Structures are given as C-alpha cells and as structure tokens.
Amino acid sequence: MHSFTEENYLKTIYQLSTEDNNVVTTNGIAEVMNTKAASVTDMLKKLADKKLINYIRYQGASLTDAGRQTATEIIRKHRLWEVFLVEKLDFKWDEVHDIAEELEHINSKELVDRLDKFLGFPKTDPHGDPIPDRKGNIQQKPFVKISKMKPGEAGKISGVSEHTPVFLQYLEKSGLTLGTTVTIIEIMEFDGSIILNNQEKDLSISREVAKNLLVVI
Amino acid sequence: MHSFTEENYLKTIYQLSTEDNNVVTTNGIAEVMNTKAASVTDMLKKLADKKLINYIRYQGASLTDAGRQTATEIIRKHRLWEVFLVEKLDFKWDEVHDIAEELEHINSKELVDRLDKFLGFPKTDPHGDPIPDRKGNIQQKPFVKISKMKPGEAGKISGVSEHTPVFLQYLEKSGLTLGTTVTIIEIMEFDGSIILNNQEKDLSISREVAKNLLVVI
DNA sequence: ATTAAATTTTAGACTAATCTAAATTTATTA
DNA sequence: TAATAAATTTAGATTAGTCTAAAATTTAAT
C-alpha cells in the first residue's frame, strides 16, 4: 500500500493534470499542497521509482496507468464519503470536505463497494462532481463555466470548481444551489460581473464567482 | 491533535490498565503492539512530556485524566464505526476490526456525534463491548468469564475478550453468538474443558475458549 | 545570443518513529 | 546478601517526509 502522503500527491497530480492538460509542474504541486518545491521534487522521484508517475527532471510529471488508478480510487472514496456525510449524517455541503479528506485514505475495497451500494450507487457527490466507478472511469459531465456563457443563455447549476466553505456558503445564501436553473441577463463591461436570473429573481455575481460555477446547458 | 501512533499507544495503555489494574509495563505494551521495548520507552517519555500519562522510569505508566479522555474517545469511535459496518453495511462481526482500527483515527467530534445519532445511540458494539459516551464514561457490564462458572449455572453470552477473526468465526460456527443462553453441564477434570448446553444441544469447549467468552448471569 | 529571471533540483539538516546492541536498574534466588 | 536473570532504558543508526540555502537548468527578454 501507499502512504497517506503518496496518495495525496497522486490525487493532486491527477487533479492538476485534468485542469491543465496532462503534464504537471513542481511548483504547481507545491502551491496546491502548501509545501515547498524541494519537497515535491523528492516525492516525484519516489513516485517515479514506484512507477506511479512518469517524471523527467526539470520537465514535469504525468501519471502512469497505475498512478491514475490509485488517484481515481482515492477520489472515488472521497466523493462517496461526502455523499454519506450529507445524505446520511445531515452535514451541509460546505462542511464535508475536510472530513472526507481523512476518510479517503481508509483502506478497504470491500468497504468502498459496500458504501457505494448502501448509498444507492450515486453518480455525483454533493458538489456535483462525478464519482469514478471501481475501475476508475469517470463520467465527465458537459460542464460549462457561467463566465463563458452569453446573455440569453440558460443552464442548470450542476457543479463548482471551488470547494472552499466560504464559496459554498456564499452560493447557499444566494440561492445558487445545485439543480436550480439560471439565465444570463447581462454582462457588465466594466468588471465582467454578470447579472443573471435565478428563480424569478435577478442577482449580480462577480466574474470570480462566474468562473467557479458550472452549469449544464 | 495527537498522531496516529500516540493514539494507538494511549488506547493500548488504556486497555492494559483495565485488564491488569492500572500500572502498565513497557514489555506489556511492546507485546500487544508488536514493537520493541526500546520503542515503547521512547514513546512513554513523549506521552509523559505531553501530560497524557504518568510515567516513572523502570516503574511503568498510567493514564492521566487527559490521556484517559483521549483513549476513550478513540475507543468510542472504534466501536461506533463497528456498529456502522455491521448494521448498515452488512459486514460480519469478524470482519470489522481492522477497518475500525483505521476509522477510529478520523478526527471530528461532530462526525462522531452524528454517527452516534444515525446509529440510534447504540450501547454496545457487535462484540458486546460497551460504547463510551462523549465524556468517556463506560457503562461496564457485569461480565463473567465462562471459565469461572460452576456446573448448573446459566448465563447469556454477552461479550468476548478475544477479537480475532478465527475466534469469532469459531463462535459463529458453534452457535455461540451474542444473546444466546448457555448452561454449564460439566467441567472436565483432565483439561478443564467445559460441556455446556446451548439451544437444546450440548457441546464441549476448551478452557481457552471458556476464558474468552463472557456471559451475564 | 547573452544575460537576467524564474523554475527546479541537490545538498545537508531536522523530526517522528522505529530498530539493534549495550548499559542500567530491578527482581529473584541460591 | 551477593550473584544472576529479567526488565527497562540509553546510545546510536535508519527511514519517510519535510525544510532552507545553494547550485543547476530552463525560459524570457533585451
């Protein structure tokens, strides 16, 4: 088995490599993980030795099949536990991330599969992120950032690309929860902020918010 | 917070100090934890520095109030998770120990309390062990080892002092599950084995088994 | 195409937890 | 009660993960 630390690196590399296509940089990892570049380099060497990543000095890293498999298993566990926490234990969607961050390292395939069944084989977690299947396949939804939409277009809020409690709480307060349909009214030239209609009411959101709110059209 | 390792030491010290009254020895801990006496000494010094145990060189260790509080919190989590695994995920009672051993280190009081509520505030785990309350109070049941009983006496099987899968599977196969009532028929002089009646049938158990099976009379 | 800036790696040190082997203390017993 | 055995602790080494500071490499810019 892999250590918690190794697992966290693999998860981060996975996430960064889907955002910025494929090759991941040392500094990129260091920033996300709140650590130093030197530490990242050490770990990249170790993961390369274990054949979990492809790594070329000064060039960056990408996951091998084995590495990707491990990464998606961790993400699967993270998201299933989040569903459990929200659906069964009545946590709010902004409270579950840190706890799931710990639970994702519990080691038992049997446990994961039984949890999956217990939850009724959910397809997405409480933030709209898709839950990988046992083999690591992820059903990617056709998410569109609100910031990319044009006036007149409408979409159903289906995901977020920021998972911090403050952001989620802001959405909650503004009624921008998963499943609600929004229509773009107007985009302000001055600062790119967007006025949209949400459940009969108009409201303005900043460009920053629009970038992190995902809809399905 | 305390490291996993510290938590495991505290749990072990707690368990040993209830078995053999109070003061716990270095070798005793080393044996239970599958480690070396030298490692135990190091950790005892560290735990003493943190005021979690009272420790006198060459004399042994005992928990402080703070140490006991931490230990019982871990045991509370362990046993609640075991209930979850058996009641909600349909694991057998002999399959849950190792998984709970990992889950017991997840750090969130909120999680524990919500889990407790979700499970309907259970009083005992699947092996009959009492679940400590939030404050660390344990409702000790009046357990009696079958090996201490006399012919003619009867009792309800209510706990075990061995938690290994092989032992639990043996009990399962023999029909010696929690809740069934057994009556002592005869104690063999030769090897101390015991013949008892269990659900209309007589069966013989070894002294070793009798020492680890607990009943309430 | 050099130079400067940014990124990345190496070297060397630190901490937590562990180990072996040797030294010390306590317990046993002759 | 002195000698031996058992238990415990210390000394010194090892591993995983981290860090700072310095060196190497790549990228950007003049």
Inform me whether the pLDDT recorded for B21 exceeds 80: no
Q: What is the pLDDT of residues A45-78, one digit of tens each?
A: 999 999 999 999 999 999 999 999 999 999 999 9
Q: What is the pLDDT of residues B131-180, one digit of tens each?
A: 999 999 999 888 999 999 999 999 999 999 999 999 999 999 999 999 99
Locate tokens 């929690």: which residue? B178
Q: pLDDT exceeding 90 applies to what percent of chain A?
A: 92
Is residue B22 very low, low, confident or very high in pLDDT (cuts 50, 70, 90)?
confident
Nearest protein residue to nucleotide C24 (CA to C1' distance) is: B58
Angle at A89 between CA A88 and CA A91, to 5 degrees: 120
Stated as kind and residue range, the H or E segment containing A113 is: helix A109-118
Contact A156, A181 (CB under 8 A): yes
Mean pLDDT across chain A = 95
Locate tokens 């490291």: which residue? B3
Is residue A19 very low, low, confident or very high in pLDDT (cuts 50, 70, 90)?
confident
Give the residue ranges of DSSP H helices in A50-96: 65-83
- Residue B34 makes CB contacts below 8 A (sequence gap 6+) with none
- Minimum CA–C1' distance nucleotide for A61: C8
Q: Which tokens in the block code for residue B20?
A: 């053999």
- Minimum CA–C1' distance nucleotide for A58: C8
The one-letter amino acid at A104: E
User: In angstroms, rounded to a whole number, what is the distance separating the alpha carbons of residues B157 and B176?
Assistant: 7
Strand intervals (E) in B59-189? 60-63, 144-145, 154-160, 181-187
Span CA (B9) to C1' (C16), Å: 14
Per DSSP, the three-state class of B156 is: strand
B154 touching chain A per CB within 8 A: no
> Which residues sit opposite A202 in a β-bridge?
A197
Q: In this complex, which of A99, A106, A118 lies closest to B108 when CB atoms are compared?
A: A99
Which bases in strand C are touched by protein, i.e. have an atom under 7 Å from a CB?
A: 7-12, 16-22, 25-26
A16 touching chain B per CB within 8 A: no
Q: In this complex, which of A89, A98, A118 lies closest to B114 when CB atoms are compared?
A: A89
Is the C-beta of residue A58 closer than 7 Å to nucleic acid chain D?
Answer: yes
Radius of gyration of chain B from its Cα atoms, rounded to whole angstroms: 19
Q: What is the pLDDT of residues B66-110, one digit of tens each?
A: 999 999 999 999 999 999 999 999 999 999 999 999 999 999 999
B91 touching chain A per CB within 8 A: yes
User: In angstroms, rounded to a whole number, what is the distance separating the alpha carbons of residues B177 and B157?
Assistant: 7
Is the C-beta of residue A38 closer than 7 Å to nucleic acid chain D?
Answer: yes
User: In angstroms, rounded to a whole number, what is the distance separating the alpha carbons of residues B114 and A88?
Assistant: 9
Q: Which tokens in the block code for residue B29?
A: 């801990």
Per DSSP, the three-state class of B192 is: coil
Span CA (A39) to C1' (C13), Å: 14
Nearest residue on chain B to A90, judged by CA atoms? Answer: B114
Compute φ and ψ for A11, nearest 5 degrees. -60, -45
Q: How far, CA to CA in Å, does B196 sit from each of B75, B143, B172, B202, B205? A: 32, 18, 16, 6, 8
Q: Which of A135-144, A176-185, A204-213, B105-114 has the lowest mean pLDDT?
A: A135-144
Which bases in strand D are touched by protein, i.e. have an atom under 7 Å from a CB?
A: 7-12, 16-22, 25-26
Strand intervals (E) in chain A? 53-56, 60-63, 144-145, 154-160, 181-187, 194-198, 201-205, 213-216
User: In angstroms, rounded to a whole number, what is the distance separating the alpha carbons of residues A186 and A150?
Assistant: 8
Q: pLDDT exceeding 70 applies to what percent of chain A?
A: 99
User: In angstroms, rounded to a whole number, what is the distance separating the alpha carbons of residues A159 and A216?
Assistant: 9
Q: What is the pLDDT of residues B191-214, one digit of tens each?
A: 999 999 998 899 999 999 999 999
CB contact under 8 A, A102 and B107: yes
